[in-house]
A and B are shown apart, each in its own frame.
Chain A
Amino acid sequence: MSKVETILANMKAVAANPKQAIADAQAKTGKAAVGVLPVYAPEEIVYAAGALPVGCWGKATKNISKARTYLPAFACSIMQSIMEMELEGVYDDLKAVLVSSPCDTLKCMGQKWKGKCPVIQFVHPQNRNLESANVFLVEEYKLVRKALEEALDVTITDEAINKAIDVYNENRQAVRKFLEVAADYPQVIDPVARHAIMKARFFMDKADHTAAIKELTAELEAMPKEAWKGKKVILTGITAEPDEFLEILKEFDIAVVADDLAQESRQVRVDVPEGDEPLMRLAKQWQNMYGCSLATDRDKDRIPMICDMVEKYGADAVIYCQMKFCDPEEFDYPLLYSKMEEKEIRNLMIEIDQQASSFEQIRTRIQSFVEMF
């Protein structure tokens, strides 16, 4: 097995079995685990507390039953599966969970947490351009910090947060570089592998993930580039799970050369800026965030951003991965669609349901889409 194959196999194993990956990381570091629900959270504070932040983004093909008691049918499938797992006690070993409130469902999820560990809910300000937004968010993060200190019985120092920011910024930069390089190696980094690498980030110590990503990137750069005979696409949306969807892309020789998925690239899009006061630095990262349906943007920079990405990566098309029942994404779609039509950018909207078990309609859409070229 080559080095690349070994790293990819490890990443896929982590992404496919988070429970084992977290147990392994805990055995290695002795760290307690703290859950982090979608979409954005100051994970650096958790890391600074000496804990392992663990992404809680639901589980594909999870059978939903108990969650129906607490969530309306029209809640997105990520939240449905998180609620189901809360009720099954999956998260009970966590020391706490962080819940942000960027959409109505998440706002309510934080208020009706059914797991046994404490929930720490906080709110990102949406009037992000104001300096007072940063002041507000710093106050929110102070509450997060205090709640984590109580849950973990530790003191979280400014110095530790600044160090954690360094670890996270390094990881974000390494991942961004990897994604740039991977776009030139679609034969090696197929859509399923690409997603696994990004998903593994949620369950590994960031320093370990950074080391693996840097090694993988260096290995890729040493390989010769080959011409890609299939199509190249950009994925945008919340998530492109489950893997069966990505397998269909593979089946039709479609490479993912870039993405604007909340679960993937949006997580590493913006570094935490320099500064002395760590909570203010973290607050400013939210202020600097762009191109996301969950962060108010009166200019809707996401639309030209995606069109520019098509040009930059030489993509043949954009696939809009519309998370079923996700209002913020639903509202962005018509704007992006109109612009893409105007610019004659091929595009396709696929409805994403993490709990989908039948993929024939998606296969038909993808095949039809490829046949259009």
Chain B
Amino acid sequence: MYTMGIDIGSASSKVVILKDGNDIVAGEVIQFGTGSSGPQRALEAAFEKTGLSFADMTKVVATGYGRFSVEQADKQISEISCHAKGIHFMVPTARTIIDIGGQDAKAIKLDKRGTVSQFFMNDKCAAGTGRFLEVMSRVLEVKLEEMADYDSRATEVVSVSSTCTVFAESEVISHLSNEIPKENIIAGVHASVASKACGLAYRTGLEEDIVMSGGVAQNAGVVRAISRELQKNVIVAPNPQIIGALGAALFAYDEAMKAQ
């Protein structure tokens, strides 16, 4: 039996096809989100890889910002529940999830069964999200995927203290004009993202294991900054960007089993 999870975020689209509720046969990511060609391209990539089609999917669950735009979905489930489900599948010992996506940052508290017992999301502000890193990457002329390397070479963490992304951008420009090394500025940018995410995470009570998911978890610099701020070990979920879609596919499997 095949089930599908589709996670349409603000900045990327993710599709997971699951076989018998256990084997990930496709986990595709396209870096374009809701309202773009991203969802369709992610679906095409998953079908091309597996040779499957919608007709082969027993159930489909959609999640993420664009979850209500997926016509083929049997059900829409929030990304909070899907991330919890996906993380519990990947890291059963997880009790706290820090998920940083394109425009949302979330801290989720799980019980032993992997059920959400509390969650916190950032308010309407791009600071502390993937969008913030994208803006900084552009200003610094450093590719997103290279930021972690720069961070690892930092000799000092420069303060990027503005709460507002636009003001923080000005702050970074000011650091650049003062010829502060990009490495140190990037470490400061990562520390800024970490402080916002940790502000949410502290509210959960911070029970270990602490696991990170979402696209930003691929940035080792942010992960290090979060670990440093929390003074705790932070596990990065395997393939962190597909966790929401994986959770959706697992929910789809549960739905399929219920229907049998």
| A351–B124 CA distance with the chains assembled, in angstroms | 9
Contact partners of B81 in chain A: CB under 8 A? 368, 371-372
Given A372-B115, A372-B116, A372-B117, check contact A364 B123 (CB 8 Å). Answer: no
Q: From the candidates B116, B123, B203, name the one contacting A351 in the complex (CB within 8 A).
A: B123
Contact partners of B115 in chain A: CB under 8 A? 372
Contact partners of B80 in chain A: CB under 8 A? 364-365, 368, 371
| A360–B35 CA distance with the chains assembled, in angstroms | 14
B binding-site residues for A, Cβ under 8 Å: 65, 76-81, 104, 115-121, 123-124, 203
Q: From the candidates A341, A351, A356, A371, name the one contacting B77 in the complex (CB within 8 A).
A: A371
Say yes or no: is A367 at the interface (Cβ < 8 Å to chain B): yes
What number of A-B contacts does a CB cutoff of 8 Å give? 40
29 A-B pairs whose Cβ atoms sit less than 8 Å apart in the complex: A324-B123, A337-B203, A341-B118, A351-B123, A351-B124, A356-B124, A358-B124, A360-B65, A361-B121, A361-B124, A364-B78, A364-B80, A364-B104, A364-B121, A365-B80, A365-B121, A367-B76, A367-B77, A367-B78, A368-B78, A368-B80, A368-B81, A368-B116, A371-B77, A371-B78, A371-B80, A371-B116, A372-B115, A372-B119
Say yes or no: is A271 at the interface (Cβ < 8 Å to chain B): no
Contact (Cβ within 8 A) A353 B77: no
Contact (Cβ within 8 A) A361 B78: no
| A365–B106 CA distance with the chains assembled, in angstroms | 11
Interface residues of A in 314-373 (CB under 8 A from B): 324, 337, 341, 349, 351, 353, 356, 358, 360-361, 364-365, 367-368, 371-372
Interface core residue of B78, B79, B117, B120 (most chain A CB under 10 Å): B78
Contact partners of A372 in chain B: CB under 8 A? 81, 115-117, 119
| A368–B117 CA distance with the chains assembled, in angstroms | 11
Q: How far is the CB of B200 from chain A (nearest CB, A)?
A: 11
Residue of A nearest to B83 (CB): A368
Decide if the interface of chain A is mainly helix, strand, loop or mixed. Answer: helix
A binding-site residues for B, Cβ under 8 Å: 324, 337, 341, 349, 351, 353, 356, 358, 360-361, 364-365, 367-368, 371-372
Residue of A nearest to B108 (CB): A368
Q: How far is the CB of B248 from chain A (nearest CB, A)?
A: 12
Contact partners of B120 in chain A: CB under 8 A? 349
Contact partners of B124 in chain A: CB under 8 A? 351, 353, 356, 358, 361
Contact partners of B116 in chain A: CB under 8 A? 368, 371-372
| A358–B123 CA distance with the chains assembled, in angstroms | 12
| A360–B67 CA distance with the chains assembled, in angstroms | 10
Q: How far is the CB of B206 from chain A (nearest CB, A)?
A: 14
| A249–B117 CA distance with the chains assembled, in angstroms | 20
| A341–B205 CA distance with the chains assembled, in angstroms | 11
| A356–B124 CA distance with the chains assembled, in angstroms | 10
Contact partners of A324 in chain B: CB under 8 A? 123
Q: How far is the CB of A113 from chain B (nearest CB, A)?
A: 29
Contact partners of B119 in chain A: CB under 8 A? 368, 372
| A349–B79 CA distance with the chains assembled, in angstroms | 17
| A353–B123 CA distance with the chains assembled, in angstroms | 11
| A371–B108 CA distance with the chains assembled, in angstroms | 13
Contact partners of B78 in chain A: CB under 8 A? 364, 367-368, 371
Residue of A nearest to B164 (CB): A73
| A360–B78 CA distance with the chains assembled, in angstroms | 11
Contact partners of A353 in chain B: CB under 8 A? 124
- Per CB-CB distance, the 5 closest pairs between chain A and chain B, nearest first, are A368-B80, A368-B78, A367-B78, A371-B81, A351-B123
| A362–B78 CA distance with the chains assembled, in angstroms | 11
Q: How far is the CB of A300 from chain B (nearest CB, A)?
A: 20
| A353–B124 CA distance with the chains assembled, in angstroms | 10
Residue of B nearest to A356 (CB): B124
Interface core residue of A337, A365, A371 (most chain B CB under 10 Å): A371
Contact partners of A358 in chain B: CB under 8 A? 124
| A324–B122 CA distance with the chains assembled, in angstroms | 13
Interface core residue of B104, B120, B123, B203 (most chain A CB under 10 Å): B123
| A45–B163 CA distance with the chains assembled, in angstroms | 45
Residue of A nearest to B103 (CB): A361
| A284–B120 CA distance with the chains assembled, in angstroms | 40
Contact (Cβ within 8 A) B117 A364: no
Residue of A nearest to B121 (CB): A365
| A237–B118 CA distance with the chains assembled, in angstroms | 20
Contact partners of A371 in chain B: CB under 8 A? 77-78, 80-81, 116
Contact partners of B104 in chain A: CB under 8 A? 361, 364
Contact partners of B65 in chain A: CB under 8 A? 360, 364
Contact partners of A349 in chain B: CB under 8 A? 120
Q: How far is the CB of B80 from chain A (nearest CB, A)?
A: 4
